[in-house]
Every structure is written in structure tokens, then in C-alpha cells.
Amino acid sequence: MAHDHVHVASRHGDRRALGVALALILCFMAAEVVAALVASSLALLSDAAHMLTDAAALALSLAAARLATAPARGSMTYGLGRAEILSAQANGVTLLVLSAFIIYGAVTRLVSPPQVKGGLVLVIALAGIAVNVAAARILAGPREPRSLNVEGSYRHILTDLYGFIATATAAVVILATGFSRADAIASLLIAGLMLKAAYDLLKASGRVFMEAAPANLEPDEIGRVLAAQPGVVEVHDLHVWEVTSGFPALSAHVVVGAGEDCHELRRRLQRLLEERYEVRHTTLQVDHEAANQGPLQIEVAPQGDRLQAERSPERR
């Protein structure tokens, strides 16, 4: 119950942060679209398009955070927590697609650069830096680590912040030298940042969907630690995965000595997993070994598939 309460409180905090950041982005986006058209700036227009995806990403993340608070029921035995992972994956895809459009437009403008009003571009870019710094600070907040859902929106905002810095730099170059291609070069830099953010989000969300172990947990290490506990004979069928951001789960089959209190040993292993690895959702199947087997000698299998306290050959 305490674990569930932590997740609910975190998601409520996420929803507040996402709502405030969405309001900031929407207010600024409208002004930037107008300025981009007046200034004939692709860098500004690409930033405005990215801010549109930022707004969509924030709205999607907000909806996913709300869905994730739904309790488990019926066939959804874990609830709808993975809606947040779907949102993060969608954010990664939108960054990927948008970066392709920006690259195409930038290459076109490198070949045939238009006249760019550097002064207006600089003013809007500086304002954009301020707005995105505020939005990024709101999303960063005190929560560490961020949920993958919020991380997706945060990457959108952070990429846009870097984009505005690149756009401001391009505007300064245009004002100082008249080199209009600086605008298209800035757009290519923005697209590169978007591709990096897209890759990171798709990789992280893909790991969750493929039920890989969380990045901060090493199954082989966990297996060795469990197998080395007093009274444990063997640990196998060990699985570690992530239901959703911040919700790791573990299951394993544990064989204990014939005379051991299997219930007390299971509780001890669960406390160990919670205190050392912060894994609170565990399913341990505990069985006794055959009573006629001899004394134990600890030996861990190289691949971690069957982590056990094996018996010496002469006593088998």
C-alpha cells in the first residue's frame, strides 16, 4: 500500500508540472509562429513547429499520467501504468519525424537562402530561451529520477531550449555578417539534437516493452546475492523487469535447506531486495530441497541462469 501511495503522489505531482509547462508553451508558441512568418526564419519556424510538438507531447503526457492513476481491475492486473511508456514512445517518434522535415527544409535553404530578419529572430529566440528554461525547471522539479513519461516531455523542452540558443546565435551571426545560411545551419543543429533525444526515448521505452531489467539493476548480481544468503540452496528462473517508470518487479524460484523456515527466509529475502535494490514488488516461490542431500558448497553458475549453492561431488 505504501508503494502504491508513492506512485499516486508522484503522478499527481507530474500532472501539476505538466499542466503548468503546457500553459507556458502554448502562450509562447502562438507569438513565435507569427514572428517566424514575419521574419522569414526557418530556424524560428522549426522551433515553433517543435513547440507545437512540445505542446502535443505535454498534453499526451498529461493524459497518460491521468490514465496511469487508474486502479488495477479486470484484465488490467497492473492498471494502466504503461500508458506513460506509450506516451514516451510517441514523443520519441514525433521527435524523429519532425527532425526529418527540419533537415529537408534546412538543406533546401542552404542551397537557396532567403532574407532573414535577424533582429526579430534574436528577440524571439531570447524570449524562447526564457520560456523554455522556466518550463524545463518546472518539469525537472525535485523528482529524481523522473518518470519516463515526464522525461519524454522534458526532452522535448530541453531540445527546444538548445534550439533557441542555436537560433539566437544564428541571429547574431546574420546581424553581424549578413550570412543568411546561419539560419539553416542552426536548424540542422536543432534537428541533430532532436534525433539524439528521439533515440534515447525510443531506446528507454523499448526496454520497458521488451521487459528488460531496469538500467540500474543487474540480474546476475541480484541472483548471486540471493544465492549467497544463509539457508539458500539454489536460485533460478530469476526475472527482473519494469512494469512502468519507477516500478521494478522481480520473480524467482528459491530452493532452501530441508530444515529451514521457508516463510521466514522468504520474508528475509524480500526485505533484502527492498532495502538494497528498492524492489518492492517481488514474487518468490520457495521450496525445500530433498532431505537426504548432503552439506552445501556455494558455487555460482557463470551465466547466472542457475545461481545455486551446489553440493560437493563426493556428497551427492
Q: 148-157, pLDDT tens digit by residue?
A: 778 777 887 8
Where do runs of H (alpha helix) occur along 141-256? 148-177, 181-209, 219-227
Cα(223)–Cα(232) distance, integer angstroms: 11
Using one digit for the tens of pLDDT, what is the confidence trace for 207-251?
A: 999 999 998 899 999 999 999 999 999 999 999 999 887 889 999
> Coil, strand or helix: which one is 238?
strand
Contact (Cβ atoms closer than 8 angstroms) between residue 163 and residue 82: no
Average pLDDT, the chain: 80
**Entry pTM:** 0.71
Higher pLDDT, 210 or 69: 210
Contact (Cβ atoms closer than 8 angstroms) between residue 226 and residue 251: no
Cα(63)–Cα(151) distance, integer angstroms: 15
- Name the pairing type of β-strands 247-256 and 281-288: parallel
According to the model, what pLDDT value does residue 61 have? 80
> Coil, strand or helix: which one is 75?
coil
Q: How many CB atoms lie within 10 A of CB 71?
A: 9
According to the model, what pLDDT value does residue 88 have? 83
Cα(64)–Cα(165) distance, integer angstroms: 30
Contact (Cβ atoms closer than 8 angstroms) between residue 125 and residue 164: yes
Q: Residue holding cell 546476475?
A: 220
Q: Please give the helix or strand (H or E) that residue 140 lies within, else none.
A: helix 118-140
List, in order of start, the domains of the chain with CATH numbers.
2-209 (1.20.1510.10), 219-315 (3.30.70.1350)
Using one digit for the tens of pLDDT, what is the confidence trace for 29-65?
A: 888 787 777 777 766 676 677 677 778 778 888 888 7
